């Protein structure tokens, strides 16, 4: 969002509790205070982790999506006051290599649904920190599995990085006996 002046946008402050990953394992967001999703374009991921760590208190200037409780970041201010501004991807910049995805299965309780930058449902964050991702059209069809409190088992292509684990879901099921254990 390189055309938006961040100084005119509302500011949200909070503590980073987790980074979010896209299906390739690139950082594309974070969670503030355990419950607020902040979308960050993947081209800012490397700069973000140079200036922000889990546990840091940061400031975010951005726009709120109409359809979801999330902020699309235009500027983040990390520790030591370093500003990270979305000026758009650098033309011709090489794309970072993607981690080796492999078939995985992951399970857990859904903490809350995740959304894309336009507010479209595109996955869920599990209470164990695993990020489940899927295309918006699939997420819309499977939204009952992406609600807080639902216990799920999911299968697909996944990546584990030092910033967390992400699974691009190809199949998902509700674990109906999960509360009995």
Q: What is the pLDDT of residue 67?
A: 80
CB 43 within 8 A of CB 90: yes
For the cut 80, the answer to whether the pLDDT of residue 135 exceeds it is: yes
pTM of the predicted structure, to 2 decimals? 0.90
Q: Looking at the structure, do residues 68 and 17 belong to the same domain, yes or no? A: yes
Which is higher by pLDDT, 19 or 179?
Answer: 19
Please report, for residues 47, 110, 139, 174, the alpha-carbon distance to residue 144 in angstroms, rounded to integers and kept in the order given. Answer: 35, 11, 9, 9
Range of the domain at 45: 6-85
CA 178 – CA 22 distance, rounded (Å):
27
Percent of the chain with pLDDT over 70: 95
For the cut 90, the answer to whether the pLDDT of residue 89 exceeds it is: no
Q: What is the pLDDT of residue 119?
A: 93
Q: Looking at the structure, do residues 63 and 122 belong to the same domain, yes or no? A: no
Q: Is residue 94 part of a domain?
A: no
On average, the pLDDT of the chain sits at 92
Contacts (Cβ under 8 Å, ≥6 apart) of 144: 150, 174
For the cut 60, the answer to whether the pLDDT of residue 26 exceeds it is: yes
Q: What is the pLDDT of residue 88?
A: 84
- Domain tally, the chain: 2
Between the two ends of the chain, the Cα-to-Cα distance in Å is 46
CATH of the domain at 141: 2.40.50.140
Which pLDDT tens digit goes with each residue over 33-48? 999 999 999 899 999 9
- Range with lowest mean pLDDT among 89-93, 144-148, 169-173: 89-93
For the cut 80, the answer to whether the pLDDT of residue 90 exceeds it is: no
Contacts (Cβ under 8 Å, ≥6 apart) of 70: 36, 37, 38, 39, 64, 115, 119
Q: Looking at the structure, do residues 67 and 109 belong to the same domain, yes or no? A: no
Q: Is residue 64 part of a domain?
A: yes
């Amino acid at each position: 969002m390189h055309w938006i002046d961040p100084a005119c946008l509302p500011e949200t402050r909070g503590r980073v509790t987790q980074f979010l990953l896209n299906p390739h394992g690139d950082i594309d967001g974070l969670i503030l205070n355990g419950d607020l999703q902040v979308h960050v374009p993947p081209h800012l991921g490397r700069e973000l982790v140079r200036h922000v760590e889990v546990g840091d208190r940061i400031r975010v200037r951005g726009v709120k999506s109409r359809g979801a409780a999330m902020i699309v970041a235009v500027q983040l201010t990390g520790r030591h006051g370093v500003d990270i501004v979305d000026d758009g991807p650098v033309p011709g910049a090489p794309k970072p290599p993607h981690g080796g995805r492999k078939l995985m299965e992951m399970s857990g309780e859904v903490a809350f649904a995740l959304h894309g930058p336009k507010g479209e449902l595109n996955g869920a964050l599990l209470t164990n920190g695993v990020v489940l991702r899927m295309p918006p059209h699939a997420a819309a069809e499977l939204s009952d599995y992406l609600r807080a409190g639902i216990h799920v088992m999911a299968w697909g292509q996944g990546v584990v990085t030092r910033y967390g684990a992400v699974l691009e879901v190809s199949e998902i099921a509700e674990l109906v006996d999960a509360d009995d254990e």
